[in-house]
Structure 1
């Protein structure tokens, strides 16, 4: 009976020692959280293993994340994978479509971003921009003649335009003189001329009658204004004037109008011609509805592909700039050990219990072996 009791006692003591030892070892992974000092002496095994090695663990985790987990190659493969692009395209389409359906006006959107923009300020900026662009263009071409600026095609068009203008002027003159108003004007001019000639005019008027001279001269005028000679003369005159104008420099025309006034007036005309107030009152939906299908089905997929390729080519530089290893290290160093213990135990509580039970089992087996040895040699 004493032998059986001895065996059970040694088994129990060994199991208790083994279980407590493993349980204590598990707790010493985390506890105590801080070093314990008695005077200037620090108790051994304080703090626990993980708190004591937290900084080193943080450094190693940072290196592991960058070198083995979040590698540039892995991120590049993810960014260029077809399934990832499809997911991003679907997400981008949903987000863009939501934005395109907004009923906010352009003015309201600018106010949300605290951008103070009014129609007057926009018109002022447009006017200044047009004036500035005008000055830049004119500085380049001001010293050139009109002829130097015209291409052969434009020169040919100008010549045809002069010919057409001559024909139009002749037709207008002829039409005027064939009208009653024109005929009356000729009669009035002849009467006025005769009245100013004194006795000679009165003699001619009395000799030919009041309408006689008009009836003789009027057909001649009609014949002259409709004759080919008249058209040739008009063409020659207009071509001569055109050639004179073509030899003028651009700055000459600018001076005739007023250099400063021309740039300012041009800017004002363009600015006031723009319906800025109407644009500011239009909603995002109004602006984008004509182009919604093209934006969603053409622009968004192309933008996703372009951004994916761009990020893929820049991923190494981005990771270097982000310093991921330092971020991981800082986060691990700042992580509370009690929270880490709670997380680890929450995940592995069952496994730790099994380790404790295994320690008790091994301790019990060792106790049994010791009891057998004691009984055998005792």
Structure 2
């Protein structure tokens, strides 16, 4: 019984010493946090291993993160995952939906962006762009014939509508001829012409009044214009002028097409069609609604694809600019030692306990071997 008791005591002592030693070694990784002194003499093994090497640990962790964890390749691989792409598309669609349901106008959007611009300023800027584009177009095509500049469809439409144009001009001529002012003007011209003939003219006026002559001239002019021959004459003139105009070089028409009045009229017509005031006060949702399906199914996926693809090319540069290693190093170096201890223990607490138990087991085995050795030797 004495031998068994001795063996049990030695096993217990060995286990206690082995477990205590390992537990103390684990504690000495973190404790004490600072150097300890007895007088001027620094106590050995103070501070603990980790507090003493905290700066080196921060550097190593920074390098570990950059070289093995957050690498350019790992980030690029993450950006290529279908799930990431789908998540980004979902967020974009949600943002687009929220934006369109706010009933914002263009004026509201500009106000939110802190952009101060009035409708008059928008019209002025668009007008300048129209004028500049028009002048550039004319200058770039100065040596070309007009028929080479205008679109083939437009030219064909004009050719097909010569009759319509002729009718319009024909009706305008008749309307002008029928105006009372035209009749009075003919009378003035007749009277001036006859009086310029001296004695014969005065004699003619004594027999027939200038008004009668003017009425006759006016009547015959009107009658001629209204005949088929008169219409055909006007049509022939219109066709001839249009053919000659097409063959003219653009630079030969500069005085006409680059006239300030022409440009001003062009700008007014385009701005009237655009109706800037209506556009700026119109809810954005109303003119985005017809495009909603295309936005969801085409534009957003294409935009996300291009953004992620572009982002991938900039990942190495971004990581270099962010200096992730220094960021981690600085963050770890700023941690209090107690927090580092808590982080490591939260990860490896179970393993540290097993190491303590292993030390106790080894200590117990060594105590048993020592006891057996004493028994056999004794």
What TM-score do you get using the length of structure 2 for normalisation?
A: 0.71
Q: Secondary structure at the match of 1:361?
A: helix
1:368 lines up with 2:335 in the alignment: no
Distance 1:136 1:334, change over 3 A: farther
- Aligned counterpart for 2:256 among listed residues 250, 253, 275: 253
The residue number in structure 1 matching 2:358 is 358
| Bigger mean CA offset, 361-370 vs 38-47 | 38-47
Contact kept, 8 Å, 2:34 with 2:47, in 1: the verdict is yes
Contact kept, 8 Å, 2:187 with 2:214, in 1: the verdict is no
Contact kept, 8 Å, 1:123 with 1:272, in 2: the verdict is no
Contact kept, 8 Å, 1:102 with 1:284, in 2: the verdict is no
What runs of 5+ residues in structure 1 fail to find an aligned partner?
Answer: none
Give per-residue Cα distances to partners, 1:22-48, cap 9 Å, x unaligned. 111111112222333456654332222
Contact kept, 8 Å, 1:123 with 1:276, in 2: the verdict is yes
Distance 1:281 1:44, change over 3 A: farther
Distance 1:107 1:335, change over 3 A: farther
Q: Equivalents in 2 of 1:234, 1:50: separation in Å?
A: 103
The residue number in structure 1 matching 2:343 is 343
Q: How many residues are aligned here? A: 363
1:151 lines up with 2:148 in the alignment: yes
1:315-334 to structure 2, matched below 5 A, reads: 315-334=315-334
Give per-residue Cα distances to partners, 1:304-335, cap 9 Å, x unaligned. 22233333344344434433333333333333
The residue number in structure 2 matching 1:106 is 106
Distance 1:163 1:290, change over 3 A: closer
The alignment yields a C-alpha RMSD, in angstroms, of: 4.8
Contact kept, 8 Å, 1:100 with 1:292, in 2: the verdict is no
The residue number in structure 2 matching 1:116 is 116
Distance 1:276 1:375, change over 3 A: same
Give per-residue Cα distances to partners, 1:318-366, cap 9 Å, x unaligned. 4344333333333333333311211232343333223223322322332
How far the C-alpha of 1:161 sits from its partner, in A, is 7.8
Give per-residue Cα distances to partners, 1:187-246, cap 9 Å, x unaligned. x959x86x98655555568xxxx9999799957973576363785488469957996995
Distance 1:345 1:127, change over 3 A: same
Give per-residue Cα distances to partners, 1:253-283, cap 9 Å, x unaligned. 378x55xx87678667766765434333333
Q: Secondary structure at the match of 1:115?
A: coil
What TM-score do you get using the length of structure 1 for normalisation?
A: 0.71
Q: Secondary structure at the match of 2:31?
A: coil
